[in-house]
Amino acid sequence: MNDHVQQTKGGVTRRQFLGFAWGASLLAFGGEMTAALIKFIQPVNASGFGGMMRAGKVDEFAVGSINWIKAGRFFLHRLDDGSFIAYWQKCTHLGCSVPWVESEKQFHCPCHGSLFNKKGEVTGGPAPRPLDIFPVKIQNGEVFVDTGNPVVRSSFDASQTTKA
């Protein structure tokens, strides 16, 4: 046996062991990089209510508009600065579906009369808090809304919006 080759108890030389360890590290690193690349280039996996939903292309939503996405049970508001916020249509009083009433320029709950302004904040009636919101994500010029993760809030602020 050569002096520079050390034999381990299991019959694997130090050089072989280091070779295996290096190879395993490269494989693990390569696997992580591949997974990250796939995640980066894949579109958001859109599903139905309760999951990530595609609302439409950014350009389909006029600045200042309130858009009812019926299948997603939410309203997508494109604010004056071009950003987006998604309101769950469920009233924060007792859960009725709250429509946007264009003639009133507000959300008006038909059950007990709660009123919400264009930012979903309570302006009248028994509702205890603003309309809950869903996280919005913009990817490749399309708007996606995560209807599986409603966010409760006490008031509106700009951090709740997503820039286009």
Residues sharing a CB contact under 8 Å with residue 21, sequence separation 6 or more, in sequence order = none
Q: What are phi and psi of 59, to 5 degrees?
A: -70, -10
Residue 112 or residue 163: which is nearer to ligand FES going by CB? Answer: 112
Contacts with 101 (C-beta within 8 Å, 6 or more apart), sequence order = 107, 108
Smallest gap from residue 28 Cβ to ligand FES (A) = 53
The residue range among 3-11, 48-56, 73-81, 124-132 that interacts with ligand FES, by the rule CB under 6 A, is 124-132
Find the shortest distance in angstroms from Cβ 134 to ligand FES.
Answer: 18
Smallest distance, ligand FES to C-beta of residue 93, A: 3
Q: Which of residues 83-112 bind ligand FES (CB under 6 A)?
A: 91, 93-96, 109, 111-112
In the complex with ligand FES, the residue whose CB is nearer, 94 or 158, is 94
Number of residues that bind ligand FES (CB under 6 A): 13
Site string for ligand FES, 12-51 (x = CB under 6 A): ----------------------------------------
* Residues β-bridged to residue 67: 76
Contact 75, 69 (CB under 8 A): yes
In the complex with ligand FES, the residue whose CB is nearer, 66 or 138, is 66
How many alpha carbons fall within 13 Å on the CB side of residue 160?
Answer: 23
**Which residues, 6+ apart, have CB-to-CB distance to 151 below 8 Å?**
132, 133, 134, 135, 160
- Spatial separation of the C-alpha atoms in residues 65 and 84, rounded to whole Å: 10
By CB under 6 A, is residue 115 in contact with ligand FES? no
Residues that bind ligand FES (CB under 6 A): 91, 93-96, 109, 111-114, 125-127
